[in-house]
Chains A and B, each alone.
Chain A
Amino acid sequence: MSGELRPAHDVARGLEREAAPVGGVGSAPSTRRGSAAALSQDSRLAIEIRGLVESGRDDEARDRFGELVAMHQHRASRIAYQYLRDAADADEAVQDAFVKVFTHIGSYREAWPFEVWFTRILINGCLDRRKARSRRDRWTVGAEISSADEARVSAAGAPNDPEQRLLARERRARMAAAIDRLDGRQRLVFMLCHYGDCTPREVSAMTGLNESTVRVHLFRAARKLRGLLGGKP
């Protein structure tokens, strides 16, 4: 099963986060993850929405769900884009995942951190899309990056210097190609840990892999990428 996720009911396994202080290691990497309190906030919100839906207060539930969307939307889009490498596809995958979450909010359990539950749904959707695309690509020639995406990237934050822009584009294409060369599981673990800010324990809960196996996959993926990219991205 390359990159397959397991059913939702298996996610409820010891996932209590132990937010420990970062050790004093030289220049520590920038911590992008929200605090434990933020995580519990989204889980609490999800429980509240579930209660509202169950009591028939759908309008109120929808309003509250908007907050949940705003909380996870950016991270979800980043993961989906890194996985699908197409902004329109990623956009749809994120939308589908949120709609699915709202539709199945009744099956959400307190024991599961919402982030893990949601990411699992999102990744499953992305995997389905990748499969569908690979089937489609057998018959058609796909573009590496859609022209609309390219135009948007050029128009937005990319440097004004055309040479810089070209270099950035080449660098990103090289990175994407290198990530694409990773084995299915390695890619999944790397995406979730590196771009999705998931801990190996959370990835273990999402994928059903042993936590130490997740660590090994993560290490191998990062080392392989380093080799493929010559030590620099």
Chain B
Amino acid sequence: MSEEQIKNLEAQFEARIARDEKIEPKDWMPEKYRKTHIRQMSQHAHSEIVGMLPEGNWITRAPSLRRKVALLAKVQDEAGHGLYLYSACETLGISRDELYEQLHSGKAKYSSIFNYPTVTWADMGAIGWLVDGAAIINQVPLCSTSYGPYARAMIRVCKEESFHQRQGYEIMIKLANGTPEQKEMAQDALNRWWWPSLMMLGPTDAESVHTEQSMKWKLKRKSNDDLRQQFIDQTVPQADLIGLTIPDPDLKWNEERQSYDFGPINWDEFWQVVKGHGPCNKERMNARVGAWERGAWVREAAMAHAEKKASKNQEKAM
């Protein structure tokens, strides 16, 4: 194809997206669109998969059967969401194996929040309430993104995820209304998860390199700073309601903006965690790669069994 032809195709492609048409796997797309989508969708899938680890830690120690079935179902959903997103990503011509390889080698990123430890039961509450809360704010606009398979996966993810946040908030309510020790535990979890949850919505708009292009492709519908403000405005009253204090001395309602003003975010910490120096980066990757390697013989045995069965069926047919 000549350069002019490609330019022409690109212009038509951008126009289709501007008209709110969806792009489907076999449609022509610019290489950059394909690569950007593989990057974002796989990052999203990896986050779901690694996101199971901090919570898996508490399944056996959940304080009641009610809490245990809920947490188990939530972690199972996360596995499911990872699988929806991996499948959607594979429609762009990259294999599952390549995607795993990128995660395991550290080439691909996942959400930095999962590199923080879950040291008490209250962390299950804080993760559901804050981390899933922030994730939902990020994900809802993606239900109308331009790439069909991604949008369809996100619709299913969002539908399922609303229970995740509620189960987390319910844990916090119970603890906040419990003994002084339990309330202290809830406050401590909020103190530790608040700032990482704000960071999770991504670097400030001034630092965000992909925003403009992503907005055009509807991979992003609101800027990181707007999403963060939305998250803060919706979460502060929820903390007030259950008598917990947001750990930000600068947090103040701004009557004029009809929004909360908030204190500075420690972006050095964010970049440290992104670069692999968070409290649990190594532990998470070891757990993930270890599980993959320990499962190798199962995958091979299943394949061998399937082949043997297929060849037996073939013999019978002859």
Does B associate with A? no
Name A residues whose Cβ lies closer than 8 Å to a Cβ of B.
none
